[in-house]
Amino acid sequence: MASREPFRFQTRIRFIDTDASGRIHYTAMFRYFESAEIEFLRALGVTYDAQRGYNLPRVHVECDFMRVIGHDDLITIEVSLTKLGRSSIRLEFRTFKGDDLAAKGAVVMASADRMTLGSVPIPDDLRAKLGAALEKPPETSGLGG
């Protein structure tokens, strides 16, 4: 079985998200990741609902820049669900400017009870929707265990 195709989200960099050098401000990349994440989840039938008994706070974020990303650049962000733990979800992002990888990053969310703020297992309905999108590593052939 081959690895699952990532979800793709395309947008342009807004002027407000750039710094004095004309490049995307480093914190703004996380807003673009979040926009891609929201559309990825929507495609799975998952929306943010304040009425549910849990929330998904971010507990880890990271981003590396490989190319300059500036105002009005057209970017494509690939989103892959790479880990679905008992109470955590890891999404990885790859941002392309044309054919060039310009940035990559990841976000880890924890499933938390909305009232107590404590960790809780990912609810079954959410787990089922996310499980369908979990990136599977490619199968390998040859000898080995």
Is 26 within a domain? yes
E-strand stretches of 2-113: 7-12, 54-55, 58-65, 74-84, 88-97, 100-110, 112-113
Residue 126 sits in a domain whose CATH number is 3.10.129.10
pLDDT at 49: 77
pLDDT at 3: 54
Q: Is the pLDDT of residue 50 over 60?
A: yes
Tokens standing for residue 74: 């057209």
Instruction: Give the chain's end-to-end CA distance (angstroms, integer).
Output: 18
- Distance in angstroms (rounded) separating the CA atoms of residues 133 and 89: 12
Burial of 46: CB neighbours in 10 Å, binned 0-12, 13-18, 19+: middle
- Distance in angstroms (rounded) separating the CA atoms of residues 12 and 93: 16
H helices of 55-95, where?
none
Question: What is the Cα 117 distance to its own chain's centre?
Answer: 22
- Residues spanned by the domain of 86: 9-131
94-115 pLDDT, tens digit per residue, is 999 999 999 999 999 999 999 9
Is 56 within a domain? yes
Is 21 within a domain? yes
* H-helix or E-strand spanning residue 34: helix 28-43
Is 138 within a domain? no
Tokens standing for residue 20: 């004095």
Mean pLDDT value across residues 43-53? 84
Is 36 within a domain? yes
Q: Is the pLDDT of residue 137 over 80?
A: no
Number of domain units in the chain:
1
The three-state secondary structure class of 41 is: helix
